[in-house]
Structures are given as structure tokens and as C-alpha cells.
Amino acid sequence: MTVTETDTSRDAAPQPTRSLWFASLIGLTGLAIVLQGLWAGIFLEHDGARDDAGGWIDVHARGGDLAIVLALVATVVAFVTRRARRDLWIGGAVLVLALILEAYLGGLIRDDGKDTLTAVHVPLAMLLLGLVSWLSARSTRRH
């Protein structure tokens, strides 16, 4: 009977660890997305004067890159360790693709001067925030 109790405790221990990795990574992704909004607010105060805001635009771009990497790693972790939780790794993959689209639009706005795309870029950012929040909430659910 002692062996059964030990085996049960060993089987139960990895579950929270696997959940913790994904939850931590998706939480950091969410933080990066929230910081994107902060940095955008800082450089938008220089509306029309890109040279004055160039440093903050660069910070915003690098933050977007970081969000993509974190979301990608979280998705891989979910796929490898929580394959049965399709909501997590498929949701993570959708998040990665949406972040790549967001970064592409941001590049068009900055590099090609297509400021009209801001009308798509900002609402997509709100959807990204909602998606990462949903993934964060789902990551704590037991299945």
C-alpha cells in the first residue's frame, strides 16, 4: 500500500509543474502585450513627429518581438507537456499568428508610413489582450 501511495504522489506532482510553465510563460506574454500599450501611449504623444518618438517606437517594436517569442515558447510548452489540452496549444498558436500579423502591420505603419493601418493595429491589440487573458484563465483550469 505504501508503494501505491508513493506512485500516486509521483504521478500527481508533475501536473502542477507543467501547468506552471505554461501559465508563467503566457503571463509574461500578457505583460509584454500590456507594456506594448504603455509604450504606444508614450510615443503617440509625439503624433506626427516620428523623429522625436523614434526611441519609444523601437522599444515598442522590440516588445512586440519579445511577445512573439514568449507566445511561441508557451505554445511549444503546451504542445509538448499538455497535448491533451488542445485549447491551450491551439489558442497559443492563434496568439502567435495574431502577434505576427500585429507586428507586420506595425512595421507597415512605421516603415512604409501607412498610418491608416492604425485603425486595424489598435483594435487587433485589444483582441490580443483578450486572447492572452483567456489563455491565462484557461491555463489554471484542471482537465
Lowest mean pLDDT among 10-19, 41-50, 88-97, 103-112: 10-19
Q: Are 30 and 37 in contact (CB under 8 A)?
A: no
- Residue 12: pLDDT band with limits 50, 70, 90: very low
3-state SS class at 142: coil
What's the confidence (pLDDT) of residue 105?
A: 97
What's the confidence (pLDDT) of residue 46?
A: 64
Q: How far is CA 125 from the centre of its chain?
A: 11
- How high is the mean pLDDT of the chain? 86
Asked if the model's pLDDT at residue 90 lies above 80, the reply is: yes
Cell of 83: 497535448
Q: Cell 489598435 identifies what position? A: 122
Q: Are 70 and 128 in contact (CB under 8 A)?
A: no
- Interhelix angle 2-12/14-44, rounded to 10 degrees, is 10
Asked if the model's pLDDT at residue 6 lies above 90, the reply is: no
DSSP string for residues in 90-109: HHHHHHHHHHHHHHHHHHHH
Domain ranges of the chain: 17-139
Asked if the model's pLDDT at residue 34 lies above 70, the reply is: yes
Q: Across residues 95-115, what is the average pLDDT?
A: 95
- Residue 73: pLDDT band with limits 50, 70, 90: very high
* pTM (two decimals): 0.82
What's the confidence (pLDDT) of residue 44?
A: 75
- Residue 18: pLDDT band with limits 50, 70, 90: low
Cell of 110: 512605421
